Structure 1
Amino acid sequence: MQYFVRSGSLLGFGEWVRENGENPNALMAEIGLSPAALYDSDLYIPYPALARLLTLAARRCRRADFGVQLGMRQGLEAVGALGSVMCLQPSLGDALRLMQRNLEFHARGVSTVVSQGERWLELTMDFAFAAEEDCEQLAGLSLALLCRCLQQLQTQTKAPLSLELKQGAAEPEVYRYLFGCEPRLEGRRNALIYSVDLLAQPVAVAADLRARLSHQWQNHRQQPDAGLLQQLERAITALLPTGECNLTMVARIVGLHPRVLQQRLAEQGSSFSALLESRRLRLAREHLAHSDIDLTTLALNLGYAELAVFSRAFKRWQGVSPREWRRQQHTDRA
């Protein structure tokens, strides 16, 4: 699983498939994906398998616009705790930088490039496995999700100036309606082009959306024990690569004062630092076993100042260095 992505990418997939008269679990099984990925947004799934699933769903549902319609249905809810933190940023440029850092870590296999010129801002996506897999539906989903997130972050955001797709599965009218601009299909790349002024626009999220995003992090009020721990783990996982993963920010997301959060964790025999280390270990193991990420990049994305600090912590957890642990995993699978 060299290329993988969070299962949050499937938010709304089941409902959209059922609306079109098909069985989402059957489609998942046909591709070799567990239906559990539809209900747990923080699983890692193979990125090429997601591309195959969307292609299959588009064919079975007879919807050439399946991926792009799904992306427009998702928005900030699909990116978990990251969506809440993006809402707290001062500008769209700051929010985009957070999203880019998160994708680089939690979506291995996609390159998201933000290019700024004097007049234009180009947001380009490319997939490392595009030569082996049909990524037409996946590209539509990804660009639609990005466009939708920008619309939600700034209620006055104008439509993109243009949309470019290497392959456009749907009719041009569909893209014009959903993106509000003229599409260029069969182009050189998958990209959205905006005015460069977009970066400086302040984040201004509609009150009802902010309430929905906050609500998804308040489940711990109904499930005081397991609910809080689960929400904290999800928040830490999303925020680690952004540089925003600290007690104050995580407490803000789950709606608690930092001191109250520490007290709640102490009552359960835990602490924020213990949860942080636990999630770091889990993510380290996932990436060492399933990706080719270099160790320095992994250490920085896990919030360590340098590789040596991460290596010492990992050896304390596992008894061997991260390099040796990775070698053992690859040897065991050989």
Structure 2
Amino acid sequence: MAVVVAMTGSGDGLMSPTYEIRSGTLAGFNTLVPQLGGIPSDFLAEVGLPADCMRRPDILIPISTLIDLLNLCVRELQCNDFGLRLAEQQGLRMLGVLGKLVLKEKDLDAALSASHRYMVLHNQADHWRIIERDSRLYAYRICHYEGLGVAEQYSELALGAACRLFRELAGADIRPRQVHFCHVPVSSLQRYREYFEAEVFFAQEYDCLVFDAEVLERPLNAASEGLVQYFEEFTQLLIQGQRGDIASQVRTLILQTLGAQQHNLAQVAQLVDTPVRTLQRHLRAAGTSFKQLLQEARMETARWHLRSSNIDIALLSASLGYTDTSAFSKAFRTVHGNSPLQWRKLQH
């Protein structure tokens, strides 16, 4: 996967990063837009995205382009709650291949930990900070970008999809205690209450979902046949252009499942429906190994974030699956000759 990070000029002559997000955040777009009377390819083309964007889940989209697309849909489809409607299409599907692995976790706590790491690694525009306090679970959305205009629809998509993820993982009866948005309402208050089934507050300091902490102990729902089929088709779609290149297939799947934290060959073998020993033999024949491909995937993802986001080094390290920051720094220095912090400064 080629990673290209665009840079834009600022008034002081410096170059600032264009925060990017993977196209998986648009899961359900091709289903929703026709329901509202639109043609998905027309909207994608107008903001400069390829018509087959939905069939290429690993494509990178500038957050500004995503915001423009959502606002375009609001205007042209006369749908003020487009972000929430798109969120209704998502849930586990927004996790891509990782969703298949998340379903095997023991409870909601473990599943959310893996989902959180995935979101950190696949989105430069924002990340979630999850805090348990006074028998409450606070899920804060921390925004990295500024000055991109009207981003309310993206905020509503993000919180709406996160709330749906909770419910799809562990029960449709899960309801947040409160929902906080930084912006003022763009739809009727009734629409927000209907979607979240909770009291919704606006003009707050942070976007935030508040739950009872006890929901973390809930066991996960059994996956529906439709969901299992979706993940199978998604996996095949992701690797279909790499038939005959087992190393590229494995590397792609590693990149898509870094949030699983404890990577092992058995996980990837399961995803490609190949016995572990057979997969090992194929990788050896290709002149590589699972360990080498994992290292390459981690370093590629680390460079993407260090070059073009302000993510905390400790958060990046933990999300990539390192036991501590020093282990990540040592691995990064071995490959690049500099610590992650030094390398970031050199890029900027």
Question: Could you tell me the TM-score, scaled by structure 2's length?
Answer: 0.79
Of residues 24, 29, 44, the one that matches 1:28 is: 44
SS in 2 for 1:306: helix
CA distance in 1: counterparts of 2:334 and 2:66, whole angstroms: 35
CA drift of 1:62 comes to 0.7
Contact 1:52 1:133 in 2 (8 A): no
**Alignment-derived partner of residue 274 in structure 2:** 256
CA drift of 1:296 comes to 6.8
CA distance in 1: counterparts of 2:132 and 2:169, whole angstroms: 19
Aligned ranges 1:1-334 → 2 under 5 Å: 1-155=17-171, 157-166=173-182, 167-209=184-226, 211-216=228-233, 219=236, 225-226=243-244, 232-266=250-284, 270-293=288-311, 301-303=319-321, 305-314=327-336
2:251 maps to amino acid = E
CA distance in 2: counterparts of 1:248 and 1:269, whole angstroms: 19
SS in 1 for 2:141: strand
Q: Percent identity?
A: 28
Name the CA shift for 1:230/1:58 in 2 (closer, same or farther; >3 Å).
farther
SS in 2 for 1:108: coil
CA drift of 1:12 comes to 1.9
2:334 maps to amino acid = R
1:77 maps to amino acid = R
Q: Which has the higher helix share?
A: 1
Name the CA shift for 1:280/1:122 in 2 (closer, same or farther; >3 Å).
closer
CA drift of 1:226 comes to 4.6
Contact 1:287 1:293 in 2 (8 A): yes
Contact 1:82 1:238 in 2 (8 A): yes
CA distance in 1: counterparts of 2:55 and 2:111, whole angstroms: 26
CA distance in 2: counterparts of 1:45 and 1:111, whole angstroms: 16
CA distance in 1: counterparts of 2:284 and 2:95, whole angstroms: 29
2:108 maps to amino acid = L
Name the CA shift for 1:8/1:156 in 2 (closer, same or farther; >3 Å).
closer
CA drift of 1:120 comes to 2.1
User: What number of residue pairs does the alignment pair up?
Assistant: 325
CA distance in 1: counterparts of 2:313 and 2:119, whole angstroms: 17
Contact 2:92 2:165 in 1 (8 A): yes
CA distance in 2: counterparts of 1:2 and 1:259, whole angstroms: 42
Q: Which has the larger displacement, 40-49 or 206-215?
A: 206-215
CA drift of 1:152 comes to 1.4
Name the CA shift for 1:218/1:18 in 2 (closer, same or farther; >3 Å).
closer
CA drift of 1:301 comes to 4.6
CA drift of 1:65 comes to 0.8
1:205 maps to amino acid = A
In the alignment, structure 1 segments of 5+ residues that lack a partner are none
CA drift of 1:325 comes to 7.2
CA distance in 2: counterparts of 1:301 and 1:5, whole angstroms: 16
CA drift of 1:210 comes to 5.1
Q: Which has the larger displacement, 91-100 or 297-306?
A: 297-306
CA distance in 2: counterparts of 1:209 and 1:157, whole angstroms: 20
Q: CA RMSD in A?
A: 3.2
Contact 1:112 1:123 in 2 (8 A): yes
2:54 maps to amino acid = L
Which portions of structure 1, spanning 4 or more consecutive aligned residues, are displaced by more than 4 angstroms? Answer: 226-231, 266-270, 292-304, 320-330
1:179 maps to amino acid = F
Instruction: Provide Cα deviations, 1:81-120, integer angstroms capped at 9, x if missing partner.
Output: 2212221211211111222222222212213122222232
Instruction: Provide Cα deviations, 1:283-306, integer angstroms capped at 9, x if missing partner.
Output: 344334433456676566545523
CA drift of 1:242 comes to 4.5
